[in-house]
C-alpha cells in the first residue's frame, strides 16, 4: 500500500501475452460450468421450492409465500425467533470480542519483529483452524463439564469467541502487513504518543481489514453447528441447531423458506465484506 | 541494496509497537490456551478414564477406551481379545471417503481453477466470487439442500423420471456416493482457491517454450504446468482432506446409519445416556493425531521446498 | 568560519549500533563521533548499507542506541523517545498519512503538541505557502505528484518548528531536473529558517552542492568530516578519495621526506606528495592524484612525467585520457575542452605531463 509509486509498475503484462490457443484446454470450460451448476443447483432448488404452494414437498403446486409466513407466524415461529435472536446476538458479541483480540494479536505479530516463539505464537493463533471441528467440540464439552461451566448461552459464546479469533485475524493481519511501518514512525516523529499513533494513524488505515475480519467472524459464528450443538446443553437453540433438529424429523417446507432466508443473509454479508475490502485498497490512500 | 537492506531500513524490533508485542499477544494466547489447548489436554486425560453409566466419567485410570477400539472382548469383557473391526473399519472408511472427496474435488476443481486463472484479469474476481459464494452459505443448509435434491422422492429423481431417463428413482441417499458428494460440496472452494493462486502465478512463457519444442497441450500440462503448480494442488488437497476426515454433517445427513464416519461415531458418544465419554475422547484423540500428522508432514515438505529455493 | 563561536546542535559521541544478539548480530555502526553545528547544513554521505540512515534514525529516536550517547544542544537525548525530541524527519518514502488531507498532514505535529486550532491552521497554511503548494491544502496525498508529496513532507516536518530537521534521502525518487530544482529550494529554506539540517544521501554531487560540511561514511565507520572542498581536495584515505569524484590511486614507496612533502616515484619519475598524518621513509603508502591535476605539456620533453596515450573519451565539457607511463603504469588524465581545437592528441602519441602543485596526496592507511 503505497502513497506514491517509486518503482515503475512492475506487474507488466504477464499472461495476456501468451496466445490464448496455448492456454486453452478443451473441456475445461464445460467442467467449470458443471462445477458452478453443481455448486448452485441444490441452493437454487431449495429457493424455488420454498415458494412452492403445495404442502407436499415434491409436487409443485404453484407460487406462494405461505412458507415464509409460516416461518414468521406459524407454529414453530416462536422457536425460530428465539433461536435467531440467540444466533444473532451471540454472533455479534463473539465477532466483536474476537475482532478486538485478533486486532491486538495482529499488531503484536506483524509489528513485533522476529522474536523467539513467533512461529509457535502463529500456530497457537491458528490452532482453532487446524483442529477438526468435532475435536474442538468434544474437547470444549469435556472441559466445560469438568470445570463446572454450565452449558447454555455463555458456554456457546465463549466457544464461539475462540474459534472466531483466527478467522478475524487473517484479513486483519493481511491488511496490516501491507501497511508500511513508516506511517506510525512519522506519527511518533511528530509528537504523537503510541496510543495516538495507533488510534489516529494505524487504526484508520487498518479499518477495511478489521471490518472484513469482523464480518468473517460474524458469518462463521452465525453458521456454526457442530461446536454449538455440543456445548449448548438442552435448553437453548441457535438457528443452525434448530434447523438441524427440525430436519431430523423430515425436511419440511418452512425449513426451506428459513434456509433461503439464511442463505440470502449470508450472501449479503459476504458481498458487503468483499466490497469493503476492495474499497480499502483503492480510495483514501 | 542487497547487503544493506537490514541496516538501512527501519522498523523490525525497534518499531513503534514492537516493544508492546507481548502485551498485545497475551490476551489471545490466554483465550486460546485456556479454551482450546487446555480442553484438548483434558480430552486426552478423559480418554484414559473409566466410563460412567449415564455419560460422564469416573476418575479412574483405564485403557478401556482405546482397548474397545481395537479389541472385542465379548459381551462381558472376559473373553480373549479378537480384533474388533467395527471401529477400525469406520476409520478406514473415513479415510477412504475423505480421499474420494479429495479426488472428486481435484477432478472438478483443477480445471475450474485453471479456467478462472486464464480469464481476463478484471473478470477473475467475479468468477472467484461466483465459486466461493456457496461456501458462505451455512454448511448445514447446503447439506440439507443436497439431501433434498438427491432423495428418492427429490427433484433430481423426479426430473430424471419425467424426462424418461429413468424408470424408477436411483437410490442416492444414504450411500457412500451421497456422502462423497456432500463432502465435495462442502469443501470444493478450498481446492479451487489454492490452485487458482498457483496457476495465476504461472508464467505461460514456459508453455510457449514447450510448444516451440513440439509438445502439445496435454504433454505441456503433464510435464510443465502440473509440476509448477504442484504446491497449490497439494495445498488444496490438504484443505479438503483434513476437514473431510472429521466431517459430521455430510455423513450424518446424507449417509445414514450404514455409513458412519469418525465424526458420526464421536458424536454418538456424547448424546444422551448411551454415551461413552472416554471412548469418544479416545476416538477424537486418534482423529486429532491423524490430522496433526498430515499437517506436520505437509509443513515439513513446505519448509524443505522453501529452503531448497532460498 | 570567521571568529564566531558556533554552538554544537547535535553531539554524537562514540555511538555504536548493533542489530540482533549473539551470533546473528549485525553491527551497523562502530564508534561514530560527530559534532553538528547550529544552523549548519550537514550531510551524511556514503554508499548503500554504510549506516547513514541508521544514524539518522537514531538521532530521530526511531532506533535505539546500543552504546555511546547523543546530545541535543547539551541535553542528553539518547533515552528520550522519538515523540519527546524536538526533532522532525522527512522520510525517504514521505510517509504522508493517506487518510488525511495535505493540510491535516502538515498540522499533525502541532495537533499532537496540543496547539490551539487557530494556531494549527495558521501555521499549516504558512508552511504550505513556504513550499509553494498554497492551492493544494484540501487534496489527498495520492492526488499529488512525487515532487509535490516531497514538499508536503517537508512542510509537515517544518511546521512544529523543530530544533533540527532530518532528511532521509528525500530527493532520491525524483527525476534529475526536479532534483536539481529541489536542491536549491532546500538550501534556501535552510538558510531562511536557520534550522540545522542533517541530510542523508548517497549522491556525492548532491552532498557537494548543498552542504556546509559532509561526513563520509562506509561500512558503519566514519571516514572523514569536512567541507566539500576539504573532502575533495584533501581526502584522508582511499575510500574518500575513490568515492568522491574520480582519482588515480598508486602504491608507492616513500623515498624521502622534506617538510610536509613526501618524495615518491610513479612511472619512474620522482614526484612530491602532500602528507596527511605521519610518513615514514621507506614505507609503502598509497597516493591519490586527481585526473584534472595533470596537464599536458606542449612537447613530451618538457613534461615531468612522460607516457603514451592509450585511449581518449570525449565527455562534452572535458576529455578523459588513459595514459600509459614508461614503466607500464596506467594513469587517467582529464583536460577541459576550453579551446575549440582542444588538446589534439591521438592514441599512440607520446606526450608529457605536468603535475600541479599539491596535486598528489599521501593517503592514510
Residues of chain C with Cβ-Cβ distance to A115 below 8 Å are none
Residues of chain C with Cβ-Cβ distance to B10 below 8 Å are 53, 57, 62-63
Query: Which tens digits make up the pLDDT trace of A85-103?
Result: 999 999 999 999 999 999 9
* pLDDT for position B73: 63
Please tell me if residue B206 touches chain A, with a CB cutoff of 8 Å: no
Show which subunits contact C, needing at least 3 CB pairs below 8 angstroms. A, B
User: Which residues on neighbouring strands pair with residue C11, listed in sequence order?
Assistant: C35, C71
Rounded mean pLDDT, C306-335: 90
Please tell me if residue B251 touches chain A, with a CB cutoff of 8 Å: no
Longest dimension (CA), chain A: 72
Residues of chain C with Cβ-Cβ distance to B4 below 8 Å are 47-50
Rounded mean pLDDT, A127-155: 91
Residue A156 — very low, low, confident or very high, per pLDDT cuts 50/70/90? very high
* pLDDT for position B306: 63
Please tell me if residue C93 touches chain A, with a CB cutoff of 8 Å: yes
A204–C149 C-beta distance less than 8 A: no
C63–B6 C-beta distance less than 8 A: no
Residue C75 — very low, low, confident or very high, per pLDDT cuts 50/70/90? very high
* pLDDT for position B277: 85
The grid coordinates listed for B111 are 480445471
A43–B153 C-beta distance less than 8 A: no
pLDDT at B7 over 50: no
Residues of chain B with Cβ-Cβ distance to C49 below 8 Å are 1, 3-5, 7-8
Mean of pLDDT over chain C: 90
One-letter-per-residue 3-state SS of chain C: CCCCCCCEEEEEEEEEEEECCHHHCEEEEEEEEEEEECCCEEEEECCCCCCHHHHHHHHHCCCCCCEEEEEECCEECCCCCHHHCCEEEECCCCCCCCCCCHHHHHHHHHHHCCCCHHHHHHHHHHHHHHCCCHHHCCCCHHHCCHHHHHHHHHHHHHCCCCCEEEEECCCCCCCHHHHHHHHHHHHHHHHHHCCEEEEEECCHHHHHHHCCEEEEEECCEEEEEECHHHHHHCCCCHHHHHHCCCCEEEEEECCEEECCEEEEEECCEEEEEECCCCCCCCCEEEEEECHHHEEECCCHHHCCEEEEEEEEEECCCEEEEEEEECCCCEEEEEEECCCCCCCCCCCCCEEEEEECCCCEEECCC
Please tell me if residue A3 touches chain B, with a CB cutoff of 8 Å: no
pLDDT at A9 over 50: no
Residue of B179, B184, B181 whose CA lies nearest to B254? B179
Q: How far is A165 from chain C (nearest CA, A)?
A: 27
Residue C261 — very low, low, confident or very high, per pLDDT cuts 50/70/90? confident
Cα-flanking dihedrals φ and ψ of residue B228, to 5°?
A: -70, -35
Mutate to test the interface with C, among B8, B12, B15 (most CBs of C within 10 A): B8
Of residues B287 and A233, which shows the higher confidence score?
B287
Show which subunits contact A, needing at least 3 CB pairs below 8 angstroms. B, C
Is the separation of the CB atoms in A217 and A94 below 8 Å?
A: yes
C-alpha C273/C-alpha C262 separation (Å) is 5
Query: Which tens digits make up the pLDDT trace of C199-213?
Result: 999 999 999 999 999
pLDDT at A7 over 80: no
User: Which residues on neighbouring strands pair with residue C266, listed in sequence order?
Assistant: C269
Rounded mean pLDDT, B159-186: 81
Q: Give me the total of CB pairs closer than 8 Å, taking one residue from chain B and one from chain C.
A: 33
pLDDT at A8 over 50: no
One-letter-per-residue 3-state SS of C45-102: ECCCCCCHHHHHHHHHCCCCCCEEEEEECCEECCCCCHHHCCEEEECCCCCCCCCCCH
Please tell me if residue B42 touches chain A, with a CB cutoff of 8 Å: yes
Please tell me if residue B10 touches chain A, with a CB cutoff of 8 Å: yes
Q: How far is A190 from chain B (nearest CA, A)?
A: 13
Chain A residue with Cα closest to C100 = A284
B10–C53 C-beta distance less than 8 A: yes
Of residues C322 and B9, which shows the higher confidence score?
C322
Please tell me if residue A275 touches chain B, with a CB cutoff of 8 Å: no
A193–C83 C-beta distance less than 8 A: yes
Residue A164 — very low, low, confident or very high, per pLDDT cuts 50/70/90? very high
Residues of chain C with Cβ-Cβ distance to B8 below 8 Å are 48-49, 51-54
Instruction: Count how many residues are written for chain A.
Output: 285
B208–A22 C-beta distance less than 8 A: yes
A188–C61 C-beta distance less than 8 A: yes
Residue B33 — very low, low, confident or very high, per pLDDT cuts 50/70/90? very high
Of residues A7 and A189, which shows the higher confidence score?
A189
C-alpha C275/C-alpha C363 separation (Å) is 8
Which ipTM did the prediction report?
0.82
* pLDDT for position A158: 95
C-alpha C274/C-alpha C361 separation (Å) is 5
A4–C95 C-beta distance less than 8 A: no
Alpha helices in B118-154 (DSSP H): 124-136, 139-150
pLDDT at B273 over 90: no
pTM: 0.79
Residue of A175, A177, A168, A174 whose CA lies nearest to A111? A177
Is the separation of the CB atoms in C247 and C290 below 8 Å?
A: yes
* pLDDT for position A94: 96
Please tell me if residue A281 touches chain C, with a CB cutoff of 8 Å: no
Please tell me if residue A203 touches chain C, with a CB cutoff of 8 Å: no
pLDDT at A261 over 50: yes
Is the separation of the CB atoms in C323 and C309 below 8 Å?
A: yes
| Nearest CB to C89; choose among A183, A189, A285 | A189
- H or E segment to which residue B51 belongs: strand B49-51
Q: How far is C122 from chain B (nearest CA, A)?
A: 30
Is the separation of the CB atoms in C84 and A193 below 8 Å?
A: no
Is the separation of the CB atoms in C51 and C217 below 8 Å?
A: yes
pLDDT at A140 over 90: yes
C140–A190 C-beta distance less than 8 A: no
Share of chain A above pLDDT 70, in %: 88
Residues of chain A with Cβ-Cβ distance to B114 below 8 Å are 25, 28
pLDDT at B211 over 80: no
Please identify among residues 14-33 of chain C the ones whose CB lies closer than 8 Å to any CB of chain B: 19, 26, 28
* pLDDT for position C281: 87
Please tell me if residue C151 touches chain A, with a CB cutoff of 8 Å: no
Rounded mean pLDDT, C76-83: 90
Query: Which tens digits make up the pLDDT trace of C88-142?
Result: 999 998 889 988 999 999 999 999 988 999 999 999 999 999 999 999 999 999 9
Rounded mean pLDDT, B218-235: 86
Mutate to test the interface with B, among A28, A108, A229 (most CBs of B within 10 A): A108
pLDDT at A17 over 70: no
* pLDDT for position B75: 60
* pLDDT for position A283: 46
C-alpha A66/C-alpha A59 separation (Å) is 15
A6–C160 C-beta distance less than 8 A: no
The structural domains of chain C, ordered by start, are 8-238 (3.40.50.300), 246-362 (2.40.50.140)
Q: Give me the total of CB pairs closer than 8 Å, taking one residue from chain A and one from chain C.
A: 84
The grid coordinates listed for C327 are 614503466
Residues of chain C with Cβ-Cβ distance to A181 below 8 Å are none
pLDDT at A11 over 80: no
Most confident residue range from A94-103, B178-187, C324-333: A94-103
Please tell me if residue C108 touches chain A, with a CB cutoff of 8 Å: yes
C64–B1 C-beta distance less than 8 A: no
B204–A22 C-beta distance less than 8 A: yes
Of residues A107 and C297, which shows the higher confidence score?
A107
Q: How far is A207 from chain B (nearest CA, A)?
A: 18
B14–C62 C-beta distance less than 8 A: yes
| Nearest CB to B138; choose among A24, A188, A223 | A223
User: DSSP label at B253?
Assistant: I
Mean of pLDDT over chain A: 84
Which residues fall within 8 angstroms of residue C314, CB to CB, at 6 or more apart? C337
pLDDT at B274 over 80: no
Residue B67: count of CB within 10 angstroms of its CB: 16
pLDDT at B260 over 60: yes
Of residues A186 and C266, which shows the higher confidence score?
A186
Chain B residue with Cα closest to C54 = B8
Q: Of A17-21, A26-30, B272-276, which gets the smallest average pLDDT?
A: A17-21
pLDDT at B106 over 90: yes
Rounded mean pLDDT, A270-279: 75
Which residues fall within 8 angstroms of residue C66, CB to CB, at 6 or more apart? C16, C17, C18
Rounded mean pLDDT, B228-233: 87
Residues of chain A with Cβ-Cβ distance to B208 below 8 Å are 18-19, 22
pLDDT at A15 over 50: no
C95–A192 C-beta distance less than 8 A: no
Rounded mean pLDDT, C54-81: 92
Mutate to test the interface with B, among A60, A99, A125, A131 (most CBs of B within 10 A): A131
Query: Which tens digits make up the pLDDT trace of A200-233?
Result: 999 999 998 898 889 889 988 998 999 999 999 8
* pLDDT for position C342: 61
C51–B7 C-beta distance less than 8 A: yes
Most confident residue range from A195-204, A246-255, B142-151, B248-257: A195-204
Residues of chain B with Cβ-Cβ distance to A249 below 8 Å are none
Chain A residue with Cα closest to C58 = A189
- Strands C350-355, C318-325: parallel, antiparallel or unpaired by DSSP? unpaired
Which residues fall within 8 angstroms of residue A254, CB to CB, at 6 or more apart? A67, A70, A71, A74, A76
Residues of chain B with Cβ-Cβ distance to A17 below 8 Å are 204-205
Residue of C165, C156, C217 whose CA lies nearest to C9? C165
Please tell me if residue B281 touches chain A, with a CB cutoff of 8 Å: yes
The dihedral formed by the CA atoms of B275, B277, B278 and B282, expressed in degrees to the nearest 10: 90
Amino acid at each position: 500500500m503505497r502513497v506514491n509509486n517509486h518503482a515503475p509498475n512492475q506487474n507488466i503484462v504477464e499472461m495476456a501475452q501468451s496466445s490464448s490457443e496455448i492456454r486453452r484446454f478443451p473441456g475445461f470450460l464445460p467442467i467449470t460450468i458443471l462445477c458452478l451448476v453443481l455448486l448452485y443447483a441444490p441452493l437454487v432448488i431449495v429457493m424455488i421450492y420454498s415458494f412452492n404452494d403445495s404442502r407436499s414437498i415434491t409436487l409443485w403446486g404453484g407460487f406462494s409465500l405461505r412458507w415464509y409466513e409460516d416461518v414468521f407466524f406459524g407454529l414453530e415461529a416462536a422457536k425460530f425467533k428465539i433461536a435467531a435472536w440467540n444466533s444473532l446476538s451471540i454472533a455479534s458479541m463473539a465477532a466483536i470480542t474476537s475482532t478486538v483480540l485478533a486486532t491486538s494479536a495482529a499488531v503484536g505479530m506483524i509489528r513485533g519483529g522476529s522474536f523467539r516463539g513467533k512461529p509457535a505464537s502463529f500456530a497457537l493463533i491458528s490452532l482453532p483452524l487446524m483442529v477438526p471441528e468435532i475435536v474442538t467440540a468434544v474437547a470444549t464439552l469435556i472441559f466445560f463439564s469438568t470445570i463446572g461451566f454450565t452449558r447454555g448461552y455463555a458456554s456457546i459464546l465463549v466457544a464461539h469467541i475462540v474459534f472466531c479469533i483466527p478467522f478475524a485475524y487473517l484479513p486483519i493481519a493481511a491488511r496490516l502487513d501491507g501497511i508500511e511501518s513508516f506511517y506510525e514512525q512519522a506519527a511518533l516523529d511528530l509528537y504523537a504518543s503510541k496510543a495516538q499513533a495507533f488510534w489516529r494513524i494505524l487504526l484508520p488505515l487498518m479499518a477495511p481489514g478489521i471490518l472484513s475480519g469482523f464480518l468473517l467472524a460474524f458469518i462463521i459464528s452465525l453458521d456454526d453447528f457442530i461446536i454449538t450443538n455440543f456445548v449448548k446443553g438442552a435448553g437453548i437453540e441457535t438457528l443452525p441447531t434448530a434447523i438441524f433438529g427440525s430436519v431430523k424429523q423430515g425436511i419440511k417446507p418452512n425449513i426451506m423458506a428459513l434456509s433461503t432466508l439464511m442463505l440470502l443473509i449470508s450472501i449479503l454479508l459476504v458481498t458487503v465484506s468483499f466490497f469493503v475490502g476492495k474499497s480499502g485498497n483503492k480510495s483514501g490512500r | 541494496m542487497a547487503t544493506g537492506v537490514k541496516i538501512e531500513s527501519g522498523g523490525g524490533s525497534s518499531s513503534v509497537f514492537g516493544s508492546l508485542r507481548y502485551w498485545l499477544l497475551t490476551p489471545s494466547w490466554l483465550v486460546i490456551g485456556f479454551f482450546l489447548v487446555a480442553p484438548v489436554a483434558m480430552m486426552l486425560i478423559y480418554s484414559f478414564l473409566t466410563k460412567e453409566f449415564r455419560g460422564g466419567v469416573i476418575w479412574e485410570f483405564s485403557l478401556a477406551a482405546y482397548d474397545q477400539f481395537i479389541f472385542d472382548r465379548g459381551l462381558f469383557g472376559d473373553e480373549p481379545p479378537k480384533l474388533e473391526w467395527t471401529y477400525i473399519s469406520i476409520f478406514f472408511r473415513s479415510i477412504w471417503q475423505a480421499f474420494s472427496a479429495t479426488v472428486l474435488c481435484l477432478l472438478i476443481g483443477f480445471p475450474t481453477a485453471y479456467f478462472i486463472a486464464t480469464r481476463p484479469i478484471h473478470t477473475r474476481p467475479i468468477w472467484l466470487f461466483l465459486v466461493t459464494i456457496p461456501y458462505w452459505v451455512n454448511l448445514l443448509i447446503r447439506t440439507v439442500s443436497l439431501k433434498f435434491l438427491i432423495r428418492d422422492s427429490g427433484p433430481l429423481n423426479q426430473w430424471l423420471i419425467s424426462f424418461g431417463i429413468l424408470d424408477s428413482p436411483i437410490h442416492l441417499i444414504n450411500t457412500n456416493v451421497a456422502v462423497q458428494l456432500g463432502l465435495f460440496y462442502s469443501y470444493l472452494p478450498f481446492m479451487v482457491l489454492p490452485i487458482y493462486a498457483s496457476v495465476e502465478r504461472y508464467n505461460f512463457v514456459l508453455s510457449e517454450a514447450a510448444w516451440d519444442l513440439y509438445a502439445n497441450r496435454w504433454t505441456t500440462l503433464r510435464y510443465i504446468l502440473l509440476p509448477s503448480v504442484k504446491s497449490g494442488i497439494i495445498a488444496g488437497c490438504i484443505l479438503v482432506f483434513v476437514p473431510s476426515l472429521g466431517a459430521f454433517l455430510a455423513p450424518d445427513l446424507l449417509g445414514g446409519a450404514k455409513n458412519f464416519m469418525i465424526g458420526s461415531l464421536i458424536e454418538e458418544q456424547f448424546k444422551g445416556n448411551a454415551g461413552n465419554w472416554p471412548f469418544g475422547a479416545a476416538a477424537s484423540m486418534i482423529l486429532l493425531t491423524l490430522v496433526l500428522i498430515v499437517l506436520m508432514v505437509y509443513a515439513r515438505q513446505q519448509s524443505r521446498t522453501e529452503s531448497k529455493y532460498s | 568560519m570567521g571568529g564566531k563561536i558556533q554552538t554544537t546542535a547535535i553531539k554524537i559521541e562514540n555511538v555504536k549500533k548493533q542489530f540482533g544478539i549473539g551470533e546473528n548480530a549485525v553491527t551497523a555502526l562502530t564508534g561514530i563521533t560527530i559534532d553538528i553545528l547550529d544552523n549548519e547544513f550537514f550531510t551524511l554521505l556514503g554508499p548503500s548499507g554504510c549506516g547513514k540512515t541508521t544514524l539518522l534514525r537514531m538521532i530521530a529516536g526511531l532506533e535505539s542506541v546500543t552504546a555511546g550517547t547523543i546530545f541535543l544542544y547539551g541535553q542528553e537525548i539518547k533515552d528520550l523517545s522519538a515523540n519527546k525530541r524536538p526533532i522532525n524527519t522527512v522520510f525517504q518514502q514521505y510517509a504522508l498519512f493517506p487518510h488525511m488531507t495535505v493540510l491535516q498532514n502538515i498540522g499533525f505535529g502541532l495537533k499532537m503538541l496540543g496547539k490551539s486550532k487557530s494556531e494549527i491552521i495558521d501555521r499549516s497554511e504558512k508552511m504550505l505557502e513556504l513550499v509553494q503548494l498554497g492551492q493544494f491544502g484540501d487534496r489527498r496525498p495520492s492526488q499529488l505528484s512525487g515532487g509535490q508529496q516531497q514538499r508536503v513532507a517537508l512542510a509537515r516536518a517544518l511546521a512544529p518548528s523543530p530544533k533540527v530537521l532530518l532528511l532521509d534521502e528525500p530527493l532520491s525518487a525524483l527525476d534529475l531536473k526536479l532534483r536539481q530544482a529541489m536542491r536549491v529550494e532546500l538550501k534556501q529554506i535552510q538558510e531562511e529558517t536557520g534550522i540545522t539540517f542533517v541530510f542523508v544521501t548517497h549522491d556525492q554531487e548532491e552532498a557537494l552542492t548543498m552542504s556546509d560540511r559532509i561526513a563520509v561514511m562506509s561500512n558503519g565507520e566514519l571516514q572523514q568530516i569536512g567541507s566539500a572542498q576539504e573532502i575533495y581536495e584533501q581526502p584522508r584515505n582511499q575510500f574518500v578519495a575513490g568515492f568522491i569524484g574520480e582519482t588515480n590511486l598508486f602504491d608507492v614507496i616513500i623515498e624521502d621526506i622534506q617538510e610536509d612533502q613526501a618524495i615518491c616515484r610513479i612511472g619512474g619519475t620522482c614526484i612530491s606528495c602532500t602528507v596527511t598524518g605521519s610518513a615514514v621513509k621507506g614505507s609503502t603508502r598509497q597516493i591519490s592524484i586527481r585526473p584534472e591535476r595533470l596537464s599536458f605539456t606542449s612537447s613530451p620533453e618538457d613534461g615531468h612525467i612522460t607516457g603514451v596515450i592509450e585511449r581518449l573519451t570525449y565527455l562534452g565539457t572535458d576529455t578523459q585520457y588513459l595514459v600509459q607511463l614508461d614503466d607500464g603504469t596506467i594513469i587517467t588524465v582529464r583536460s577541459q575542452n576550453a579551446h575549440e581545437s582542444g588538446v589534439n592528441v591521438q592514441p599512440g602519441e607520446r606526450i608529457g605531463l605536468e603535475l600541479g602543485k599539491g596535486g598528489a596526496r599521501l593517503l592514510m592507511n
